[in-house]
């Protein structure tokens, strides 16, 4: 042992990697990979399980929602607001200058072309996840009672601690009176 | 230490054990012959009371688990089953739910005691830090326990608090999904919180053990804040402080019993007797009272990440106390200005708690902001400044001299 280790030192002195260095790096490297491979399952088990991930979609019949009314449906365990907007609400939403918005997005980008009256969005406050209340707040839209976030008639954040607009889920019109979320 | 004789025995059995595992002399050194300053006042009772509450929570908790079902469809009903059907179930649950509050009352007083008497100063920094770790673990345990009955406050409290992690840049969203095990707080979340709520108290036990180990290494501080200089300054823990702690415990138990038997729901929120409904947020979400000051700080900042950082910082800043306060004098007894700043800080904490319970509207937003700024100013500006310019009163030469006067023999 003594001789081989002193040989190692000599080799270091001359700037050459020894067999011992190689073994050392290889052992530690393999060990790190093994630890990582073992720890990952321990962490990943907490991510959504396959049954939770199995995508669900929800169909909504729009014919029963009168102008100025909205309903809340459940999708992936979350509330989705489907609102039939009035002319006034649409106009207000379109007239807001983008510079005034915290999370700038035009009203057009938040609805489907030709279906401006229908606003479909995930009803989860982008602050800390409460469900905002409809037809409330200072911007003719939604108000989150938890920490006081105000959303406008396009669901965009206007005032309060929330950083982002209410998200628009993926959805499509199956017919003029039916949408499919998800 | 002549006033605290080290462990001795004539028993052959005990000698046999001691030679192999010195457990009896260790217990003796911690609870019998441990030389404690002779001048400890009643504020020093709260450490043993905290230890009592930890044991009480574990005992009542293990009993609750025998009857509780951690599943979203059954949790709420199983807690009602505990309340109505299980023999003395109401007592176990009320003792556990109010016990959590009592635990926090005791620990808050224990922490404030440390802040008043400068217990965080050298050589007790590690002791202080371990205490804050226990406090953090308690907060996690209390939070997850409150989710278990699966009422409206359980659900929405869990939603709001887990969403705090979503404020982290880049990884925030993934972390929240990981914490939930889904796309919202749901059964996976309830189950993991149950698992961790069972585990963490035992982690706390382990940290308490380190806390006491550090304590017995540096020995207790005392209201004068001067170190023990010799035997004349101490008395043996038993019978002096075992008796005093037992007396304090009986007074405390009366207080505890008042809540459990005469006002068991006062410290909880009535909405938690409504089963969790993921589609309806209660009009006004409040956490348990012991989180209110920190909740007020969270809401005071009009920015998501900023609020979260401020709330975390409010606790983390306690870790720096040994350095923010560099006055050579430990006890506020001899620090006329620090003493006043201390009480202002206590008032500020109470005000923050009050604001935390109010809706985030109108005047409360402003009051909350001022109180939050003051909270941090206390640590970052006021305490260092006072350490700098305050002229402390003369500190006595020794504990024995101060307590016994001239009767004290050197
Ligand atoms: C650090 C110690 C502990 C604290 C601070 C604590 C705190 C809490 C809190 C605040 C609740 C909600 C009470 C309610 O409103 O109903 C709770 C519930 C519960 N805890 Fe604990 N707990 C502790 C230790 C334990 C332990 C060690 C266990 C089990 C081994 C346990 C088992 C339970 C169970 C089953 C519930 C649900 C039943 C109920 O809600 O009353 N706890 N805990
Ligand atoms: S969760 Fe909506 S404002 Fe905080």
Report CB contact under 8 Å: A78, B360: no
Nearest-CA distance from A155 to chain B in Å?
A: 18
What is the atom index within ligand 2 of the atom nearest the CA of A147?
A: 3
Could you tell me the CATH number of the domain that includes residue B274?
1.20.810.10
Q: CB neighbours (10 Å) of residue A42?
A: 8
What is the atom index within ligand 2 of the atom nearest the CA of A128?
A: 1
B114 lines ligand 1 (CB under 6 A): no
8 A C-beta contact, residue A162 and residue A125: yes
**pLDDT at A52 (0 to 100):** 81
Give the ipTM: 0.79
Q: Examine residue B376 and state whether it is found in any structural domain, yes or no.
A: no
Q: Examine residue B1 and state whether it is found in any structural domain, yes or no.
A: no
The pLDDT tens digits for A68-81 are: 999 999 888 789 99
State the Cα–Cα distance between residues A134 and A149, nearest whole angstrom.
Answer: 12
B205-231 in b/e form (b: 16+ CB < 10 A) is eeebeebbebbeeebbbbbbbbebeee
Q: What is the mean pLDDT of residues A16-20?
A: 88
Residue B186: active-site member: no
Residue A84: active-site member: no
Give percent of chain B with pLDDT exceeding 70: 98
Quote the number of domains for chain B: 1
Residue B220: active-site member: yes
What is the rounded average pLDDT for all residues in chain B?
94
By C-alpha distance, the chain A residue nearest B286 is: A146
> Whole domain around residue B92: which residue ranges?
12-296
Reported as a pLDDT band with limits 50, 70 and 90, residue A14 is low
The pLDDT tens digits for B132-177 are: 999 999 999 999 999 999 999 999 999 999 998 888 889 998 999 9
Closest CA to B156 of B240, B332, B337, B280: B280
Is pLDDT above 60 for A6? no
Q: Examine residue B373 and state whether it is found in any structural domain, yes or no.
A: no
Place of tokens 């969005």: A121
Q: Examine residue B268 and state whether it is found in any structural domain, yes or no.
A: yes
Which of A102, A129, A148 has the most B C-beta neighbours within 10 Å, making it the best mutation to test the interface with B?
Answer: A129
- Kindly identify the ligand whose nearest atom is closest to the C-alpha of B140: 1
By C-alpha distance, the chain B residue nearest A72 is: B279
Residues 6 or more apart whose CB falls under 8 angstroms from that of B79 comprise B68, B93, B148, B149, B150
Residues of chain A found within 8 Å of residue B188, distances taken between Cβ atoms:
46, 48-49, 52
**pLDDT at A161 (0 to 100):** 85
The pLDDT tens digits for B350-359 are: 999 999 999 8
Give percent of chain B with pLDDT exceeding 90: 87
Q: Examine residue B131 and state whether it is found in any structural domain, yes or no.
A: yes
Q: Examine residue B308 and state whether it is found in any structural domain, yes or no.
A: no
Minimal-distance CA residue to ligand 1 atom 43: B145
Q: Examine residue B388 and state whether it is found in any structural domain, yes or no.
A: no
Reported as a pLDDT band with limits 50, 70 and 90, residue B250 is very high
Q: Does B340 touch chain A (CB under 8 A)?
A: no
Which of A128, A155, A158 to mutate for ligand 2's pocket (most ligand atoms within 8 Å of CB)? A128
What is the atom index within ligand 1 of the atom nearest the CA of B93?
A: 41
Report CB contact under 8 Å: B281, A160: no
**pLDDT at A4 (0 to 100):** 47
- Kindly identify the ligand whose nearest atom is closest to the C-alpha of B101: 1
Q: Examine residue B380 and state whether it is found in any structural domain, yes or no.
A: no
Report CB contact under 8 Å: B181, A46: yes
Beta strands in B67-152 (DSSP E): none
The pLDDT tens digits for B309-321 are: 999 999 999 999 9
Closest CA to B231 of B368, B38, B11, B61: B38
């Amino acid at each position: 042992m003594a001789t081989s280790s002193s040989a190692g030192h000599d080799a270091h002195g001359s700037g050459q990697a020894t067999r011992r260095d190689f073994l050392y790096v290889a052992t530690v490297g393999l060990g790190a990979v093994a630890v990582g491979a073992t720890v990952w399952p321990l962490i990943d088990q907490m991510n959504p399980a396959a049954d939770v991930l199995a995508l669900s979609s929800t169909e909504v019949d729009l014919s029963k929602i009168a102008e100025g009314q909205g309903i809340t449906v459940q999708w992936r365990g979350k509330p989705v607001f489907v609102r039939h907007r009035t002319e006034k609400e649409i106009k207000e939403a379109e007239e807001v200058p983008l510079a005034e918005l915290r999370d700038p997005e035009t009203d057009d980008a938040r609805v489907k072309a030709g279906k401006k009256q229908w606003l479909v969005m995930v009803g989860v406050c982008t602050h800390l996840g409460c469900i905002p209340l409809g037809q409330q707040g200072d911007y003719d839209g939604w108000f989150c009672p938890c920490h006081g976030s105000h959303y406008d008639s396009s669901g965009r954040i206007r005032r309060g601690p929330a950083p982002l607009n209410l998200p628009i889920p993926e959805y499509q019109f199956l017919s003029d009176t039916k949408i499919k979320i998800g | 230490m002549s006033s605290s004789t080290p462990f001795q025995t004539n028993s052959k059995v005990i000698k046999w054990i001691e030679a192999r595992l010195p457990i009896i002399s260790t217990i003796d050194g911690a609870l019998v012959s441990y030389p404690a300053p002779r001048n400890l006042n009643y504020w020093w009772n709260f450490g043993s009371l905290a230890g009592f509450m930890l044991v009480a929570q574990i005992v009542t908790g293990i009993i609750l688990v025998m009857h509780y079902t951690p599943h979203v469809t059954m949790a709420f009903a199983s807690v009602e089953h505990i309340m109505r059907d299980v023999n003395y179930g109401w007592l176990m649950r009320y003792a556990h739910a109010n016990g959590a509050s009592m635990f926090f009352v005791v620990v808050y007083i224990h922490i404030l005691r440390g802040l008043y008497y400068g217990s965080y100063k050298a050589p007790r920094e590690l002791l202080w830090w371990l205490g804050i770790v226990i406090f953090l673990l308690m907060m996690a345990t209390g939070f997850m326990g409150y989710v278990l009955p699966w009422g409206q406050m359980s659900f929405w409290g869990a939603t709001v608090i887990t969403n705090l992690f979503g404020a982290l840049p880049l990884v925030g969203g993934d972390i929240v999904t990981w914490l939930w095990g889904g796309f919202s707080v749901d059964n996976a979340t309830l189950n993991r919180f149950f698992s961790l709520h069972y585990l963490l108290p035992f982690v706390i036990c382990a940290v308490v053990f380190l806390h006491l180990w550090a304590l017995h290494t540096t020995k207790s501080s005392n209201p004068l804040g001067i170190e023990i200089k010799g035997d004349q300054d101490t008395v043996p823990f038993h019978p002096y402080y075992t008796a005093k702690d037992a007396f304090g415990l009986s007074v405390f138990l009366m207080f505890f019993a008042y809540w459990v038997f005469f006002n068991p729901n006062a410290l909880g929120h009535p909405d938690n007797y409504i089963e969790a409904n993921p589609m309806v947020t209660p009009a006004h979400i409040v956490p348990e009272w012991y989180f209110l000051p920190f909740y007020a700080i969270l809401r005071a900042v009009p920015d998501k990440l900023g609020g979260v950082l401020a709330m975390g910082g409010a606790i983390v800043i306690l870790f720096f106390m040994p350095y923010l306060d560099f006055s050579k004098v430990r006890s506020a007894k001899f620090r006329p200005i620090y003493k006043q700043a201390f009480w202002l800080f206590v008032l500020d904490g109470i005000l923050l708690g009050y604001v935390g319970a109010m809706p985030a509207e109108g005047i409360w937003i402003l009051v909350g902001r001022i109180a939050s700024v003051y909270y941090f100013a206390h640590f970052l500006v006021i305490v260092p400044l006072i350490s700098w310019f305050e002229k402390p009163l003369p500190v006595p030469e020794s504990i024995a001299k101060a307590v016994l006067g001239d009767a004290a023999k050197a």
